[in-house]
Structure 1
Amino acid sequence: MKKDEKVIVGISVGDLNGIGPEIIIKAYEDNRSLELSTPVIFASGKTMQFFKNYFKSKINFFSIDSPEKVVHGKVNVVNVWKESVKIDFGKESKKIGEYAIRSLEAATNALKKGSIDVLVTAPINKHNIQSEKFNFPGHTDYLAKALNGKSLMFMVAGDLRVGLLTDHVPLKDAAKHITEKLVREKITTVTNSLKQDFGIGKPRVAVLAINPHAGDNGVIGKEDDLVLRPALEKIRNEGSLVYGPYSADSFFGSNNYKSFDAVIASYHDQGLIPFKTIAFGGGVNYTAGLNKVRTSPDHGTAYEIAGKGIADENSFVQAIYTAIKIFKKREEYNYYSKNPLKKASK
């Protein structure tokens, strides 16, 4: 991509009864946002027109039949469906879940073909999307299969980056999933992402313990001493700057996280609670480990405020900007990887 070319941002519309369409509209109401990238929303012109009228927005949509017909300087909408959709704000609906998946699948196909450069996903309801054809706990797992990658949920807010060893699994099963192989895979994914997606040459990574106080020498669980600590020591001896396991209860409150380029939590809430406490409303969920770039806001469908016009679009806007930055940083990394002498003389 040349420096003057705009990044094409594909957007899956998410749950239409949630706040997704509202934050998409708010993100692109200001035409200045079109100077940096070109949006392509996967829904339908008719559906997005409904939301424009409902929220009394001045945004103008440009309907196209395929992402290959994108027009720069416009807020493009690919007509994934043509029929009218009944919107019932704040209500969970199986039918609405089907539209969310149709949008996601169309956007993912466009991403695979290169018709769009990056994918930003609006929030879905993990319950109403389930079917015989779609049986994934969320975007991350679906995209890992669709793009043949080892995905990792990577929460990003400025210099704060939090990854997970286990994500959408019941807490009672989290420790069972943590093996040396998994630890190695996740650390490799995080380290590679820090290098190619964020431009950090020698990343420092902290890993949080599985048990309280890292098990207290086996008094509060043996998993840290038997699995996590030996795995980290092996990886560290191979040259990676990986440290831990650290007791999770004081790690963020003491600002210890600021000494590292990324933190890997052992399970979902261990990492997501402090992240969202520090960065809520401005954080981004980035799917690391794939050959394509996908981001999303750090919140869900927010049914309780859907249709009220009060949803904050900042996290979605940050998801757009983060996707663009990572896409450009990855292009730069790939270029200099192939031309190391040019990097040396830069």
Structure 2
Amino acid sequence: MTKKAENIIVGISIGDLNGIGSEIILKTFEDSRMLELCTPVIFANVKILSFIKKTLESTVMLQGIDRLDQIVLGKINVLNVWQEGVDINFGVNDENVGKYATKSFVAATKALKEGKIDVLVTAPINKYNIQAENFKFPGHTDYLDQELEGNALMLMVQDNLRVGLLTDHIPLNDVASHLTEELIVKKIETIKKTIIQDFSINKPKIAVLGLNPHCGDGGVIGKEDDTILKPTLKKIFEKGTLVFGPFAADGFFGSHQYDKYDAVIATYHDQGLIPFKTLSFGNGVNYTAGLNKIRTSPDHGTAYDIAGKGIADYNSFKEAVYLAIDVFNSRNEYAEISQKPLKTKEK
């Protein structure tokens, strides 16, 4: 069933309290029109967020709640995930603050999993200070992949530019050994399904970038493109998926070849994210594709160097909220269409 806009519950994990996360959240919802599109629920503590609000001279009104059944539609709700105080030192990498970032994220993920919020938008974390005995994940995506059904895939989105990754947070010297036919097939199937159900494009065209410079130049600069990527992409194409490549990565973005495709898949993290952020920094969104629930985040980190100064650009976070709502609506429409019986002509 399609929800009225203001009834869409957007859960927000607070991220690193010493970073810019709280600032970009507050700035996003200073525009009262945002509350006509959704109802936000920030997983944190209302006293701490009120302190940060006062420090940043924000004008938003916060609604503290202790349970999710207390959500007030059309208000900025703050769920008290914890009750104790936390020392805030903007710009400082603090292991204790990392624990609260984890508490917020785990509680928000649980609420998403149980259907108590509709979508999740995560503020930036510090991947180092969140590490603990009960949380040993490189970041948000890996934990979501464990907790939610599906196959998580990092998809960077800005308007019609969508860049996915075959491998993400692994060392560069391990990339080639991870590129197997099984992985490539799984990732392309995931991105195809995502583009269809989440972006309403029925026959997506997908481009794949080569691993080596010039796609290996016939094996002179590496054999993986010829022995793994090309034959695998050929098999996938022959089964009906419009997948093309591998393309030499160095000129693909500069020549605007990406304009011809609905999604681009890079073989490793920086190959995709450097050109993406160059083209869209400040407006891009990190979307976790392939899961049974919806999660987005801004395309930047904690920005300790400007934290607490009131100068953080919040556009990427606002775009993350917009995209989460758009995908939520697209999935609902796709589900409704998929459930409708096909009409047959009467003889």
Provide the residue aligned with 1:321 in structure 2.
Answer: 322
Q: Is the partner of 1:217 in helix, strand or coil?
A: helix
Provide the residue aligned with 1:163 in structure 2.
Answer: 164
Q: Is the partner of 1:289 in helix, strand or coil?
A: strand
Distance 1:183 1:3 in 2: 36
Deviations 1:57-112 (A, max 9, x none): 11110000112221111100000011111001111011011000000011001101
Distance 1:28 1:313 in 2: 10
Distance 1:248 1:177 in 2: 19
Q: Is the 8 A contact 2:2 2:329 kept in 1?
A: no
Provide the residue aligned with 1:4 in structure 2.
Answer: 4
1:321 is displaced (CA, Å) by 0.3
**2:71 maps to 1:70:** yes
Q: Quote the RMSD (CA, aligned, Å).
A: 1.1
Provide the residue aligned with 2:276 in structure 1.
Answer: 275
Provide the residue aligned with 2:18 in structure 1.
Answer: 17
1:340 is displaced (CA, Å) by 4.4
Q: Is the partner of 2:34 in helix, strand or coil?
A: helix
**2:28 maps to 1:27:** yes
**2:225 maps to 1:224:** yes
Distance 1:241 1:61 in 2: 48
Distance 1:4 1:257 in 2: 35
Q: Is the 8 A contact 2:265 2:272 kept in 1?
A: yes
Provide the residue aligned with 1:94 in structure 2.
Answer: 95
Provide the residue aligned with 1:111 in structure 2.
Answer: 112
1:32 is displaced (CA, Å) by 1.4
Distance 2:160 2:246 in 1: 21
Distance 1:25 1:15 in 2: 14
Which residue identity does 1:56 align to in structure 2?
Answer: E
Distance 1:165 1:207 in 2: 9
**2:135 maps to 1:134:** yes
Deviations 1:13-71 (A, max 9, x none): 00000000000000001211100100000001111101110011111100001122211
Which residue identity does 1:103 align to in structure 2?
Answer: S
Q: Which runs of 4+ in 1 moved over 3 A?
A: none
Q: Is the partner of 1:150 in helix, strand or coil?
A: strand
Which residue identity does 2:49 align to in structure 1?
Answer: M
Which residue identity does 1:322 align to in structure 2?
Answer: L
Distance 1:149 1:50 in 2: 39
Amino-acid identity (%): 61
Deviations 1:275-330 (A, max 9, x none): 00001000000000000000000000001110111000000000000000000000
Gaps of 5+ in 2: none
Distance 2:235 2:220 in 1: 24
Q: Is the partner of 2:103 in helix, strand or coil?
A: helix
Give the TM-score normalised by structure 1: 0.98
Distance 2:228 2:166 in 1: 13
Which residue identity does 1:69 align to in structure 2?
Answer: Q
Deviations 1:213-254 (A, max 9, x none): 000000000011111111101101111100000000000000
Which residue identity does 1:249 align to in structure 2?
Answer: D
Provide the residue aligned with 2:257 in structure 1.
Answer: 256
Alignment of 1:138-217 (within 5 A): 138-217=139-218
Which residue identity does 2:4 align to in structure 1?
Answer: D
Distance change >3 Å, CA 335–CA 217, structure 1 → 2: same
Q: Is the partner of 1:26 in helix, strand or coil?
A: helix
Distance 1:22 1:273 in 2: 25
1:2 is displaced (CA, Å) by 3.6
1:341 is displaced (CA, Å) by 3.6
Provide the residue aligned with 1:293 in structure 2.
Answer: 294
1:3 is displaced (CA, Å) by 4.5
Distance 1:246 1:117 in 2: 37
Deviations 1:125-154 (A, max 9, x none): 000001111111111111000113210000
Which residue identity does 1:4 align to in structure 2?
Answer: K
Q: Is the partner of 2:291 in helix, strand or coil?
A: coil
Distance 2:202 2:189 in 1: 14
Provide the residue aligned with 1:46 in structure 2.
Answer: 47
Distance 2:44 2:282 in 1: 25
